[in-house]
Amino acid sequence: MIIERKFILNLTSKNFVLLLLLITTMNTFGQVVFERGYFVDNSDEKIECLIKNYEWKNSPTKIEYKLTEDAESKFTEIADIKEFGVSNLKYHRFTVEIDKSSVMINNLSKVKEPIFEEETLFLKVLIEGEATLYSGGKPLGYFYKVNDSAVTQLIHKDYFTEDYEVATNNTYKSQLWKGLECPCITLEDIRNTGFNKRSLIKTFETYNKCVDSEYVNYQKNHKKTDINLRVKPGVRWSTFYMRNSSNSSQNIDYDGDLNFCFGLEAEFVFPFNKSKWAFTIEPTYQSYYAEDPRANYNNTVDYKSVEFPIGIKYNMFLNSKSILFLSAAFVIWDAPINSTIGTKEINSRNNLNLGTGYSHKNKYSIEFRYGTKRELLNTYVYYSSNYQSFSLFFGYNIF
């Protein structure tokens, strides 16, 4: 008896726990190095030092520093620092009024106007000049000041109307129109300024040039998302068994099978946190073949498919040429190609791939990967199965 069942994604609780454990492990390891920097204390003394550069995504609350390479590291809190800089990053401490309204669609405010709270933050300097642009806070916002004016948040807020429709308060445009008044910036320019880093930086650069102010763009040399494309031939050792809850004579343990596999990995390396995190998409061809070990039975497994895992990768930099990495990917779709078990058509479910590997010069890589349980008889009510794999991939970065 066959019952048709539809699954889009089916991340089992066991795989979900494995994924969480791996992500936690990824976040525990990795090399974040000390780099040349400085901080200014409350007495306005500038202290040259080495600062551990996390390339913070949001506002940090403290920094870890060393006075020399061989010195013991220390922590200093936001209350004790007015300013610090490391690499191409610069932060100033301000006590600001910040709107912390939720940006999640399910928790949007029903109030159009911002609801301010006072908070002391390290704000990242994006553009520094007569008109200075900052970012910081959580959720991430943008702040500005012109000349010696107070640092003010640019207001952009989504909210629910009385009819529960989503509307947007774009007060930031009127703030820019009044605050950045100059002949080079038209009303149309302000209308076309989006509430994002690139667009705001462009507007602040235009103003500083217009008023002939010297300025520094701290994002000019900031790294963008890198994209790598790798071909990944490999070998896969696969095991499989099948069970029938109504007929135990159909319970079969098949021999393991070693076969060629081939993947094409697109890797998107995020620019924050020292480029340690990456998002991956890796369509992979794989196959498995095994014959029924019992005489006079025909339950031969002929399974070929292209699987489509999407996942995350965590890089641990050993030095400028060597990287160890951990990976976790969820197979969102497995597309069987003329695949059968005897007369039964294979219909597979999702599973999780966990891996670890080594990359040299970002050109060559080797990766060991474990594929958790994958059900191949998804549409058969009495049958269950377990397909698992261990793979070894060799990667070559095309670009």
pLDDT at 224: 58
pLDDT at 129: 94
Q: Which sequence spans correspond to the domains of the chain?
A: 13-28+223-397, 34-217
pLDDT at 279: 94
* Spatial separation of the C-alpha atoms in residues 337 and 334, rounded to whole Å: 10
* Spatial separation of the C-alpha atoms in residues 287 and 94, rounded to whole Å: 59
* Spatial separation of the C-alpha atoms in residues 121 and 190, rounded to whole Å: 27
For residues 111-146, one letter each, b for 16 or more C-beta atoms within 10 angstroms of the residue's C-beta and e for the rest, the string is eeebeeeeeebbbbbbbbbbbbbbbbbeeebbbbbb
Q: Band of the pLDDT at 15, cuts 50, 70, 90?
A: low
**pTM: predicted TM-score of the whole model, two decimal places:** 0.58
pLDDT at 91: 96
217-256 residue pLDDT tens: 988 765 556 889 999 999 999 999 999 999 888 899 999 9
Instruction: Give backbone dihedrals phi and psi of 132, rounded to 5 degrees, phi first.
Output: -115, 135
Structure tokens at 396: 């070559």
pLDDT at 117: 93
Contact between 259 and 390 (Cβ < 8 Å) = no
267-293 residue pLDDT tens: 998 877 767 889 999 999 999 999 988
DSSP 294: S
| CATH number of the structural domain 13-28+223-397 | 2.40.160.20
Quote the mean pLDDT of the chain: 88
pLDDT at 319: 75
Based on its alpha-carbon atoms, the radius of gyration of the chain, rounded to whole angstroms, reads 28
For residues 44-81, one letter each, b for 16 or more C-beta atoms within 10 angstroms of the residue's C-beta and e for the rest, the string is eeeeebbbbbbbbeebbeebbbeeeeeeeeeebebeeb
Residue 79 has pLDDT above 90, yes or no: yes
Structure tokens at 240: 């499989």
Amino acid at site 293: P
Residue 348 has pLDDT above 50, yes or no: yes
Give the distance from CA 244 to its chain's centroid. 41
What contacts 122, CB < 8 A, 6 or more positions away? 59, 60, 61, 78, 81, 84, 91, 92, 93, 136
Task: Among 6-20, 43-57, 383-397, name the one with the lowest average pLDDT.
Answer: 6-20
Can you tell me the mean pLDDT for 49-57? 87
Residue 155 has pLDDT above 90, yes or no: yes
Can you tell me the mean pLDDT for 371-391? 93
Residue 301 pairs in a beta bridge with 290, 341
pLDDT at 11: 45
